Structure 1
Amino acid sequence: MTTVDASPLGRKLRAFVALSDVEFAVLSRLHQRRRSFAAGHALLHQGHSQRSAYILASGWACSYKTLPTGTRQIVDFQIPGDILGLRSVLLQASDHFIEALTDIEVSEVLPSELFEAFRETPRLAAAVLWAASRDEAVVVEHMIDIGRRSAEERVAHFLLEMGFRLSLVGLADKTGYPCPLSQFHLADALGLSAVHVNRVLRKLREDGLVTFRRGNVHFDDPGGLIAFADFDTAYLDQERPLLQ
């Protein structure tokens, strides 16, 4: 297995299609420009033109939009294997911010490099399109969270979703996963107050379903949590189950 084959993005794309050695060689070229950013660094700025996309190799980031009042809505969280700013390189200006939540390592990819890679390897382009479509499906599910699920259901659903996403790149298992998010992050993503998030997490813990404490999510009753959240993995298009 090559280094890129074993990378988070390589593992993620292999869930969709078996890439050849030639295609992995092209993918490897997109990983050559490595950069590191500290927590709090903004990779994309809402309203600004964007010249690069980024492949997230380690750490967590989030995408969000701000309102004139100064409040923000977190749209999604990015984890290793995700491509950041792909949509923004095609638009005249970015429609959102992307900020590092932890120290992160990325590979910077120029649009010309991305388009050349797609021209050379249409199957790689199709795999990246699958990843982008899956990310869009995740954002749509977040709309369902905010609009139709109770506070307890949306928190449970979100914690399960992150577990399944992380498992695809080898960063979670049936017991849980490390999670750097604060209750304020969950509040901004799920349309709740931080105080309400705290109450919900306490209730889910007291009900024996899941414990989120000291930077770790632990699934106390995985099957019960899935049933409670009515969690269906179809939108993740992910065959390998987390809970086996």
Structure 2
Amino acid sequence: MSTKPKTVDCRDCPIHKLQTFRNFEKAELNFISDFKTGELSADAGATILVEGAHSAHLFTILSGWAFRYKMLEDGRRQILNFALPGDLVGLQGSLEGEMQHSVEALTSLRLCVFEKQRLREIFTNHPELAYDVTWIAAREERILDEHLLSIGRRSALERAAYLLAFLQNRASASGEPAKRYLPVNQQHVADTLGLSTVHTNKTLRKLADRKLIRWRERSCEVLDHKGLMKIADWEGLGRENRPFI
């Protein structure tokens, strides 16, 4: 990973141009521009944050994908969620001290860097931004609730359909250029769904046989998003204008 000075001015942030994100007031934009201390570049597979460690920084993903996960002592991994452009990374560690999970780059990443010690200024001086942070945390909890429902009650086929529909929904809303191609391999899917690799392979093959997806070497192409949603009995994330920092 490499940290460098700001190369993307917050006033020219490409995320601002996406219709799924709310616009900032001038004072908010000035604060965020001052709040941002630099940018971080990371290659796929790089560790951004480590469970149990203390981080002095928060990050917003400018481009690329990452995922949050926890590990058991024997090496088994549970992927908790995925992070895409506009997502805030490291908020849990900012509020609780040490990180409660790890974060890894799924693809090459560019992140905006913020000093977490200044987070209190948002709640003190910028109530609308404070509401945004609360909204982001609440939305994350809502997504994790759906993930938990999926692991606990959906069949393997329904779980896989839900996950791929969810990721395609997130990719489209976050302005990722390859909206139909999800940069996940079968191990990522298995570690998210709580299934063995063999079971995951068989399940994904069933979705492929129904012409809903096409599995590639290092990615999954979504052919029928609505079909995946129907199998999962999932209505999607909605089209609300979401905030970001």
Question: How many angstroms apart in 2 are the aligned matches of 1:237 and 1:123?
Answer: 22
Question: How many angstroms apart in 2 are the aligned matches of 1:105 and 1:203?
Answer: 35
Residues 63-120 of structure 1: CA deviation (Å, up to 9, x unaligned): 1111122211111111111111111111132111111122211111112333224433
The corresponding residue for 1:238 is 239
Letter aligned with residue 75 of structure 1:
L
The corresponding residue for 1:204 is 207
The corresponding residue for 1:50 is 55
Distance 1:112 1:11, change over 3 A: farther
Q: What RMSD in Å do the two structures reach over aligned CA positions?
A: 2.5
TM-score by length of 1: 0.84
The 8 Å contact of residues 181 and 222 in structure 2, kept in 1 or not, is answered as no
Question: How many angstroms apart in 2 are the aligned matches of 1:45 and 1:25?
Answer: 31
The corresponding residue for 1:188 is 191
The corresponding residue for 1:220 is 223
Aligned length: 234
> Residue 118 of structure 2 aligns to a residue in which SS?
helix
Letter aligned with residue 190 of structure 1:
L
TM-score by length of 2: 0.84
Question: How many angstroms apart in 2 are the aligned matches of 1:32 and 1:123?
Answer: 21
Stretches (4+) displaced over 6 A:
none
The corresponding residue for 1:147 is 152
After superposition, where does 1:52-67 map in structure 2 within 5 Å?
52-67=57-72
Counterpart among 98, 101, 115 of residue 96 in structure 1:
101
Pair 1:179-2:182 in alignment:
yes
Distance 1:11 1:157, change over 3 A: farther
Question: How many angstroms apart in 1 are the aligned matches of 2:32 and 2:66?
Answer: 22
Identity of aligned residues (%): 35
Question: How many angstroms apart in 2 are the aligned matches of 1:6 and 1:74?
Answer: 33
Question: How many angstroms apart in 2 are the aligned matches of 1:197 and 1:7?
Answer: 38
> Residue 56 of structure 2 aligns to a residue in which SS?
coil
> Residue 33 of structure 1 aligns to a residue in which SS?
strand
Question: How many angstroms apart in 2 are the aligned matches of 1:30 and 1:117?
Answer: 10
Q: Name which of structure 1's ranges 31-40 and 56-65 shifts more when overlaid on structure 2.
A: 31-40
After superposition, where does 1:122-141 map in structure 2 within 5 Å?
122-141=127-146
